[in-house]
A and B are shown apart, each in its own frame.
Chain A
Amino acid sequence: MTSGLKVINPGTHTTLQDWGRFGYQHLGVPVSGALDLECFELANALVGNPDNTASLEILYFGPTFEVTQKTIRIAVAGYGTSIEITGPEPARYPAWRSLDLVQGQTFRILLEGTSTSAYMAVAGGFDIPSTLGSLSTYRRAGLGGQQGRPLQAGDTLPLSDSNSPVGHNVQLSLPPYDPSQPIRVIWSIQKDWFTEQSLNTFVSEPFIIQPESDRMGCRLAGPEITHKETSDIISDGIATGAIQVPGSKQPIIMLSDHQTTGGYPKIANVISADLPRMGRIKPGQEIRFAVVDVAGAEQIRRDQHAKLVRMKQNLDPVSEQVGIDLKVLYEANLISGVVDDSE
């Protein structure tokens, strides 16, 4: 039997993802990759992996695994997420820290907070070959990941040899995530295809995330966004975060698995610094858009990157105290406002 991580319950949609598959878009191959690249990189940093090591993207209901290897070190990055060890000695640990597990232990990832996604990295990474330079799963063409598909019960994910825990476990302190902030966009190439009134509506009215959303696109419902004439354009390229408006007059935000080209007018594009937030957003949630200019968006991205680098360099050792974990309570909104400042 292969040793590694055995999938007891795959969760709703758990896939291997990395930065994505670059250099094949001109052949029609989507980039794919982690929806929330920020949490993806933080999970890797917590277990000491290089930034682009493939990890598990967990959407909605989290998976349950059994450790079938002597020892492993894992870390989960996700807002309101925790790791629950089940079996004879149950325990619960918050996300944003590394954790050592031994053979025979069973654990599940719980997503209970403000986000729909979390990333689980394993020290040393998975021993699975890449496809066209990436381990990112693209289901439609069966590329990357575990046989080109989401995890299934009974799968065993083999781990690389170098995965034994080394050194202290580490943790990160993060400010809580505020999903109510507007999503920043720049106007895109077919802005002029829309009526002046629709452009105003787009930036002033809220939209609701629809349940049909997936890794390809986030569907919105809200006031109608009207084209001046037609909703058919000559197909052109699509950047991640592009906001297309088809004949239904309801916008769709293109996410990691989006097609490389498309034939609907693009009104705006989510700025790259806010794409990680699109990976956290929940169906039913309300979002608003705020417009920035291109140079501003580029600067926001560079600042955000610098901040991420600093976070990865400032990991604290974990103090192994047993007791109520204030951080978990805080993130789950069980308590509000006052948090012990020794935390």
Chain B
Amino acid sequence: MPFNIISASDTAIVIEFGDAISQELNDKVLAADAVICESNLSGIIETVPTFRSLMIHYDPRITTATELEAALLPLVDSGQSKGRKTSTWQLPVCYEGEYGPDLENIANLTGVSTEQVIHLHTASPCHIYMLGFLPGQPYIGGLPEPLHLPRLSTPRVRVPRGSVAIATGLSTIYPYESPGGWHLIGSTPVSLFDKHRPKPALFAPGDSILFKPVSTTEFKAIEEALSEGEYTVPCQEVTS
């Protein structure tokens, strides 16, 4: 399996598996991540998997880039972990009215009807490549070709929490209100990050999401149920 190990700083090395956004490369990243996490190598602080590379943060008072590289080469080469558990989530998303403020514009830009945009976005489960930008924020693949759009030319100063957005061939969901330059297609009432949960982030890298369209009424009912602690996102666990 071809890969490069390079230093990003004196506290981090990066294993690069390629230079593209593809599930094949991302699977290699996640497999390497799993095997490195199981290894408990001395001096590693934590790992951060991204689309096509894995960052390994280390403590230079305990180990060095040279030592780590020597230890990691055979591990990553073998690439066999005990098997990863991933989840497929059915995430409720409302595409109506104020919840999908850019839906009409997306339809205009792509030349398909709004119904077809929603249909394309909800057709099949989509792979989560990585989390980043904000706590719990997923970068999601599987966006059908007709919905591939560049970022907005002028980013919004404020994107509401829970917004589901598309750009550059990916989907994302904003866990907090923040600035953002993606097209807002819908909104989910579900909280993606909650410090009080035993697992604070809902998703993990490698999970999948099936966007499930809900009406404004259903959105509000789920929002209500969530505040009462009476709603959990439907989810199936798979061991690969």
Contact = CB atoms under 8 A, between A and B. Distances in A.
Interface string A214-226: 0000000000000
Chain A contact residues: over half helix, strand or loop, or mixed? mixed
Contacts of A249: none
Interface string A265-298: 0100111100000000000000000000011011
A341 interface: no
A242 B46 contact: no
B132 A28 contact: yes
A24 B197 CA distance: 14
| Residues of B in contact with A, size category | 35 or more
Interface residues of A, number: 43
Given A237-B48, A259-B132, A298 B14 contact: no
A26 B195 contact: no
A242 B12 CA distance: 10
B8 interface: yes
Interface string A228-243: 0000001111111110
B142 interface: no
A23 interface: yes
B30 to A, nearest CB: 10
Nearest to B12: A239
B60 A302 contact: yes
Given A234-B21, A237-B48, A261-B50, A189 B6 contact: yes
Nearest to B48: A237
Contacts of B131: 26-28, 260
Contacts of A85: none
A143 to B, nearest CB: 6
Interface string A116-135: 00000000000000011000
B9 A140 contact: no
A138 B47 CA distance: 20
B57 interface: yes
Given A141-B176, A237-B48, A237-B50, A294 B7 contact: yes
B20 interface: yes
Given A25-B46, A141-B134, A261-B48, A236 B61 contact: no
B130 A186 contact: no
A210 interface: no
Interface in B1-52: 6-12, 14, 16, 19-21, 33, 45-52
B227 interface: no
A226 B200 CA distance: 40
Contacts of B53: 236-237
A271 B55 CA distance: 17
B217 interface: no
Contact of A239 (B9, B47, B200): B9
A189 B65 CA distance: 14
Contact of A235 (B132, B175, B205): B132
8 tightest Cβ-Cβ pairs between the two chains A and B: A237-B55, A261-B132, A297-B10, A269-B9, A239-B12, A27-B201, A239-B9, A298-B60
Given A23-B46, A143-B195, A239-B12, 10 more contacts: A26-B205, A141-B195, A186-B10, A188-B7, A189-B7, A235-B50, A236-B51, A237-B12, A242-B9, A301-B61
9 contacts: A28-B132, A29-B200, A141-B134, A141-B135, A141-B175, A143-B135, A242-B8, A272-B9, A301-B61
